[in-house]
Amino acid sequence: MTSALWNLLFFALALGLLVVIHEGGHYLAAKFCKVKVYRFSIGFGPVIYRRTMKDGAEFALSLIPMGGYVKMKGENGDEEEEQGSAKGSAKDSPHEIETDFAHIVSSNAKDSFSDKTVGQRALIVAAGPISNIILAMVLYTIMNMVGVANIIPVVSEIEPGSIAYNAQLKDKDLIKEVDGSTIYGWGDFVTEVIADVGGQIELTVVEDMGKGAERKVVLDLSTLHVDPRQDVLESLGFAPLLGKYDEALSFVEKGSVADLAGIRVGDKVVAINGVPTPDWPDVVRAIKLNGEKTMLFEYQRDGVIHQAKITPIMKYNEQKQKYTPNIGIGIAVFKIDEVVTFTHYGPIDAVVKASQDTLRMSVMILEIAKKMISGALGTENIAGPISIAKGAGHSADIGFSAFLWFLATLSINLGVVNLLPIPVLDGGQLIYLAYEKITGRRPNERVQRVLTAIGLTILISLTMLAIFNDLAAL
């Protein structure tokens, strides 16, 4: 219960900030273009709090917190609405759904939205999503100046038969570049992988954690299935190197097949089925490759080599969401200082890096949208409010920088998605304005209404799908 309230609190903080920034962009652009604003609302539906600002516009908090809107003169062709705005206008009707710029028709008033030039209207429409993208850059810049901790991308525990295994990646390979782009941490790597699902990527890797020979390997992503319940690295068939493995076993589960075979804490595994296992990843790989068959397990105790025959059992792995062969042993991992880097950026470098991060994330979002349409990515990857709330709470648990990263990423999502050419979204309205600029006439109002209804249907369907995915993941 406490965790749920924590998630809800930070979800409200994140969503509230992003909506205020988005709608604030529309509002400020409207004021700049001298368009009269009736209402600046956070949320949709019945108004639960209202206050008249100095410029005469009404600031409102509405019942349904998923979004907001800015109501302007001339937006719906209703020039008389100003009279009833503060007291409860037609927009308070439960039968009407508020959206920014849902219907744009002509008007002759000088302070009317529809009386402005195409360029001014486009500025007002685009200001919302652009504000979200600018917010993301600001947040990334703050993160970069505070300092960014990265786990350097070193490969470990390669699974036999996996994409990584077939590409001949090796334990302790440092991933230096993907298709020529420098990789600073696992976040950069995962971004590149998701953007190229269904294709292939060329990795530049350096052996022995960056101290050995450099070589190129190609990851074939044509068979990669991205599941939100499974880590992307796990789907590729490896794990990140987090530290140095102890040479001897630090854990033997009581009553396990290893325990029953006489294996004890402090024993060192030297070979499985005659194949040497100098490192723990070699042990993990050998057990996975062996499966449920009886294997010859060789271990060293007090300088003497012993042998035991052990038959692994299939045990459900919660983290990997599947059954894996298990014998009930484990090992300690010690910190390696060079695995984690902590970088502080100066003001200029922080802005440059923030611009790069924003561009990379924006491109990834567009690539994901394209791959969902083509079917390369499943719709189960669409996340709803429950997943966002969990992400907000989890990032807040980790720390200030993690929460800033979450906010920045969510803000870019809101900005980029709103620029998609879907009627009802800001991008759809920009398409209408582009049509007007090219042809010299406004789109037919009836056509706009039909397209808006179609866009609204798409939006509601995606929202319902996202909520369904959230519930299925509980």
**Phi and psi of 154, rounded to 5°?**
-110, 130
Catalytic residue among 23, 98, 177, 234: 23
Least Cα distance to 151 among 185, 193, 191, 189 occurs for 185
Q: What is the token pair recorded at 451? A: 């397209």
Judge residue 173's burial from the number of C-beta atoms within 10 Å of its C-beta, 0-12 exposed, 13-18 middle, 19 or more buried: buried
The string over 266-299, giving b where at least 16 C-beta atoms fall within 10 Å of a residue's C-beta and e elsewhere, is ebebebbeeeebebbbbbbbbbbbbeeeebebbb
For 126-150, letters b (16+ CB in 10 Å) and e give: bbbbbbbbbbbbbbbbebbbeebeb
Contact 222, 166 (CB under 8 A): no
Residue 69 — φ and ψ, nearest 5°?
Answer: -160, 160
Can you tell me the distance from the alpha carbon of 7 to that of 76, in angstroms, rounded to the nearest whole number? 38
Q: Report the Cα 285 to chain-centroid distance in Å.
A: 30
Q: What angle do CA 451, 457, 460 make, to 5 degrees?
A: 140
Segment (H or E) for 280: helix 280-290
d(CA 427, CA 458): 14
Q: Long-range contacts made by residues 429-434, C-beta under 8 angstroms, separation at least 24? A: 429/100, 429/101, 429/104, 429/125, 430/122, 430/125, 430/126, 432/104, 433/118, 433/121, 433/122, 433/125
Q: Are 127 and 25 in contact (CB under 8 A)?
A: yes
Instruction: Enumerate helices (H) and strands (E) in the chain, giving the number of each.
Output: 13, 20
Active site residue 75: no
The two tokens of residue 424 are 């009802």
Catalytic positions, written as ranges = 23
